[in-house]
Amino acid sequence: MGRLSVSLCGIELENPVIPASGTFGYGYEFADFYDINCLGTFSFKGTTLAERIGNPLPRIAETEAGMLNAVGLQNPGVEKVIAEELPKLARCFHKPVIANVSGFSVAEYTEVCRRLGEQEQVGWLEVNISCPNVHGGGMSFGTDPHAAATVTRAVKAVTKKPVIMKLTPNVTEIVSIARACEEAGADAVSLINTIKGMRIDLKTRQPVLANITGGLSGPAIFPVALGMVWQVSQAVKIPVIGIGGVASAEDVIEMMLAGAAAVEIGAANLVNPFACRNIIENLPAVMDRLQINTLRDITGGAHG
């Protein structure tokens, strides 16, 4: 085990750095820039049962300290992901990968998880019950503890792979959702997804996004994400993956001190395709400066 190594649901990672779903494609797109095997792992693009073309354009907008997106889970559907995307990925990434799953019903979540869970490359299933950019799915399951538990229980019944429930920050109280997922059998939780927001074009006096609202990501949400990771990690015994505005090695360490076992990095990949590689390279020097010997020892270190 190296200084940077951590364990996620019993699977060893060389480091805790994980590109977040929706910001890293299916991995091979970034393999043209650098050897992506330096990553701990990554979460590939959210997959639904059937192909989705996503929301109408425009669906991306920049903000002062981040971005809004309302992509709407555009993806080719689970059959094409298995038949076409995973074989391409296998040629350039030789570690277990996180399969991110979205759905519009419990039955859809279950079927997609069953199919992806059968793939040898898939190490974990990250079940997205937190997407704010689609109507009638995603976040509607993540705002109620009973619904979140129902999805968790159904998915756990069809796979032996570790199940990570991805939680939304767009709730009054996230701890009850996390506890419900844990009690229903979740192996880990990841948080947060984006925060619902919007922008208005002053010239047209109309919303910038065709969907009107979208999910805010980037540095603006880091303090919110950090606070929720702190809360949830103290309330559950399963691992927490911290997500939200992480852009540096220092941010990774801060997330881990708040209680994260591993850290996903999202919007930073869209600003700089080398973001995750650079963070991994910078971690040892930052650890030396902060007198940290091994990363696996600091999870929850700020809790006292």
Give CA angle at 239 (238, 241), nearest 5°: 140
Structure tokens of 184? Answer: 């229903």
Q: Could you tell me the CA-to-CA distances from 298 to 3, 5, 237, 254 in Å, in that order?
A: 11, 12, 16, 10
CB of 194 closer than 8 Å to CB of 270: no
Give CA angle at 93 (246, 219), nearest 5°: 10
CA distance 264 to 252: 9
Phi (first) and psi of residue 12, to 5 degrees: -75, 135
Q: Is 92 a catalytic residue?
A: no
Catalytic residue among 9, 131, 181, 276: 131
CB of 283 closer than 8 Å to CB of 295: yes
Amino acid in the structure at residue 136: G
Q: What positions carry a catalytic annotation?
A: 131
